Amino acid sequence: MDHNKLALPVGTTLDRFIMRKQEDFPYATGELSQLLRDIALAAKIVNREINRSGLIDIAGAYGSQNVQGEDQQKLDVIANIRFIRALRNGGEVCTIISEEDDEMIQTGNNQGKYVVAIDPLDGSSNIDVNVSIGTIFSIYRRVSPTGREGTAADCLQPGTHQVAAGYVIYGSSTMLVYTTGNGVNGFTYEHSLGEFFLSHPDIITPKTGSIYSINEGSSDSFSPGVAAFVQHCKDQQFSARYIGSLVADFHRNLLKGGIYVYPATAKNKSGKLRLMYECNPLAFIVEQAGGKSSNGTRRTMEIEPKIPHERCPFFIGSKELVEKAESFIAKDTEACDHKPAPEPTPKKAVAAK
């Protein structure tokens, strides 16, 4: 009898995987690896809080609004505290920008080489109805000298400068998906062992798909180009799938193929999603998986941020679908550029006296 069959391998843990991949960063001496482990630890704690939210009084509204003007949920606040505490205690991060805080957060780790942009709990309006929610994070190397507090220049770097990005999805299973610029890998949390195990190595997103994800409740205020693209999806008999949690919609489309769209609308003229801690990290991931991300006319990661909570339109997913959406928007723009100017209104003749 083969004794190995009595105790099959459980797989590769996240910690072991990170250590093996450390050689991908010739400039790093273990700090980035430690930082990723700090994020994973906070994710485990937040996962525990979410799983027991129906049993203790941590569900529901907190009673205040965040800097975005959105009603905070209790778990928004808890997740924010957990991640900030883990990043502060880990010692590798000098400054954090979070969806839940108006100002930059100085950790006191002035020797830290990294800054983190984070949405601690994406889709929090779905908490009370037990729908998948998530965490999104982005990591940059600071550009200011160490030994002092991080600066706005450290936090306001374009997405092309990211050294790592990822998300955690808390759903039927809890997964952590991340990239360091060398492909995308997904890890599933094994509760009994308290470890993330490699479950989705080298994720490649399909070049195209048959799923479109958009809030059609705002369709009356879509631009003609976006409206035409949505109609194209319907003409092709695509499936409409919109959960309302960015991480959940993105995760499904990443694995199955599709496109997620949150365009500019009359209510949100610059789009609703935040560039630094929602759009850029997911753009980095999708590009590493072979997909594409855009604001409709320009690559997401090339946008120069001006403020920490900057918003932008978002088109992300399978490369061919994003390019198709861009083509409809380009036609709309071209039509507007070539629209003849209105004829001047003739002046009334002045009656002679």
Q: Is 219 annotated as a binding residue?
A: no
Q: Which SS3 state, helix, strand or coil, does residue 194 take? A: coil
Q: Is 334 annotated as a binding residue?
A: no
Q: Which of 243, 208, 219, 236 is nearest to 130 (CA)?
A: 243
Q: Is 119 annotated as a binding residue?
A: yes
Q: Is 199 annotated as a binding residue?
A: no
Q: Answer yes or no: are the C-beta atoms of 128 and 60 closer than 8 Å.
A: yes
**CA pair distance 105, 108, nearest whole angstrom:** 9
Which residues sit opposite 122 in a β-bridge? 134
Q: Which SS3 state, helix, strand or coil, does residue 180 take? A: coil
Q: Is 31 annotated as a binding residue?
A: no
Q: Is 242 annotated as a binding residue?
A: yes
**Radius of gyration over every alpha carbon of the chain, rounded to an integer in angstroms:** 23
**CA pair distance 5, 86, nearest whole angstrom:** 39
- Which tokens in the block code for residue 193? 């062992």
Q: Is 122 annotated as a binding residue?
A: yes
Q: Is 249 annotated as a binding residue?
A: no
Q: Is 15 annotated as a binding residue?
A: no
Q: Answer yes or no: are the C-beta atoms of 53 and 59 closer than 8 Å.
A: yes
Strand 259-262 relative to strand 211-213, pairing: parallel
Q: Is 277 annotated as a binding residue?
A: no
Q: Answer yes or no: are the C-beta atoms of 312 and 262 closer than 8 Å.
A: no
Q: Which of 171, 202, 179 is nearest to 283 (CA)?
A: 179
Which residues sit opposite 198 in a β-bridge? 187
Rounded to 5 degrees, what are φ and ψ at 206? -60, 150
Q: Is 80 annotated as a binding residue?
A: no
- Binding residue numbers: 99, 119, 121-125, 215, 242, 272, 278
- Binding residue numbers for substrate: 122-125, 215, 242, 272
- Binding residue numbers for Mg(2+): 99, 119, 121-122, 278
